[in-house]
Structure 1
């Protein structure tokens, strides 16, 4: 299996790139930047196709709906914005003013009907994508929620806090199922495995934890990065996952062997985002250095 840099787009934005998403349908790459813009890139040629404008204070996070038709973004301007990817425009009627620091990172539910956002108050807010209204609040009674993730089967919602806490909720009932131990510092990123059985979390403690979410135990604790873990993504076949760190590196890990297979050293600053293509053969990484890199992750 080979790992190599296929494409590097320098100055992809005018400022740091804090988020990236690769659509499961339509083969689009979206990047969000401190320059307040979102860009759409062709997933085959890596050329820029559209520029989306509307945020005022930098784009914190982006997620693409499961059907690939819309995207959601959050910003330091306290707004949650929805974007029509079919017509490459913002949907003005569905912009949500969430309030100061009430929408940090956003994640679509697997059915596309809801978006979850972490808040400074320690809650996870659930918003209707149809009506643009808050429908539910999951309370952790804890610290600033920095990361959120839905399980692919839609039954679980996990969130990571500023103090290292990881909470897992039952989505149908809203009940807190587990508070997972294992991190000593801020949990900035998390993702579920495609089969919904495992939860990956990345922390400022330089560790990546792998949790069995059904038995609420940490089954592995991975070290290898030299600084904060900022981003995580599972490969679609669940055999590998990728991580990005403020040590300027992205790493590809073998899940079964619990070891790093390859380290990508091409960025000049911290790696804020990692995202796999639909077939898992390529990985997009974005950085504070304003670069979008595309790697081949398999012999395919």
Structure 2
């Protein structure tokens, strides 16, 4: 008879206090692939009210500041890293999106848009494009090479707060201020499913690594899981006592993590069973991100800290 498996371990392994001078609003975890001459590298990217994007090198579960990226003139609202870990995108309330080389910190492009026309940002699976939501309800796609607008997808909805691109490149998802979530066929450029997912604003949308499920988070305090093919509700995740500001899948798709205005970071199974609640922030937890292996998690907060957790 095989020995029983060890129980899961959830604990905080590093806390970076005062990582920014003001509240931190967003984060991303990046990893570059190993080459013949160089080992893989891991980076944490954060952005906040101080108008700065910071790139941190992650070494032995400790954070070392690598770059402070300046250029935005208002709060950073979203950061994203290309799948290969080499390119960084940041968006701001100053209506600009900036593209950077992550390791060098060099600014590659600045895209000027209409007021509040860039919010959440996501990369295409091949890293050649970025997509953002728009106050008109559209999804706007930009090419990385030229830094120009390539196309616009109409969600037929209101202000698009959040977007995501499936790993197979076939679908995009958007969430709007009225609680509606749309799933779009990228090749056809049209909405295939539209659901009233939340009672108020949708804060984040995230495809599962298998591209079969879509996770949504909203101001109504819930996370929901929808089938991408049918648009049907598969699970509702509860526990937060306020807005859920972000929900993400682990790289293996087995776990879900969420950040809430109640200051908690919560970990669930892929089908919505609660695994652990972290209470390490003194103010709203505003962002979460798993590493590629799915055994570690970071969170950022209005309390200006970055936390790294073990989730094995």
TM-score interval, smaller chain: over 0.9
Is 1:284 equivalent to 2:298 in the alignment? yes
Q: Normalising by structure 1, what TM-score?
A: 0.96
Say if 2:87 is the partner of 1:80: no
Instruction: Kindly provide the CA deviation profile for residues 20-79 of structure 1, in whole angstroms up to 9, marking residues without a partner as x.
Output: 000132310000111011111122221212211111001110000111111000000100
- Whichever of the two has the greater Rg, that structure is 2
The alignment yields a C-alpha RMSD, in angstroms, of 1.0
Question: Tell me, what secondary structure is at the counterpart of 1:116?
Answer: strand
Runs of 4 or more, structure 1, over 3 Å off, are none
Q: 2:86 matched to 1:69?
A: yes
Cα distance in 1, alignment partners of residues 197 and 160 from structure 2: 16
In 2: Cα distance, 1:78 partner to 1:33 partner: 15
1:53 aligned residue: 70
1:138 aligns with 2:144: no
Offset of residue 181 of structure 1: 2.7
**Pairing of 1:113-128 with structure 2 (within 5 A):** 113-128=128-143
Task: Give CA deviations for 1:188-244 in whole Å, capped at 9, x if unaligned.
Answer: 111110010000000011111000110110111111100001011111111101000
> Which sections of structure 2, spanning at least 5 residues, go unmatched?
1-7, 33-40
Report the 3-state secondary structure (helix = DSSP H, G, I; strand = E; otherwise coil) of the residue aligned with 1:23: strand
Q: For 1:248, which of 252, 263, 284 is the aligned residue? A: 263
Work out the CA distance in 2 between the residues paired with 1:108 and 1:34: 23
Listed one character per residue, the Cα deviations across residues 222-272 of structure 1 (whole Å, up to 9, x for unaligned) are 11100001011111111101000101100000113x211110101011111
Give the conservation status (yes or no) of the 8 Å contact 2:222–2:244: yes
Q: Which residue does 2:17 correspond to in 1?
A: 10
C-alpha distance in 2 between matches for 1:274 and 1:6? 15
Matched length: 295
Partner of 1:31: 46
- Establish whether residue 40 from structure 1 lines up as the match of residue 55 from structure 2: yes
TM-score by length of 2: 0.93
Preserved contact between residue 155 and residue 190 of structure 2 (Cα < 8 Å): no
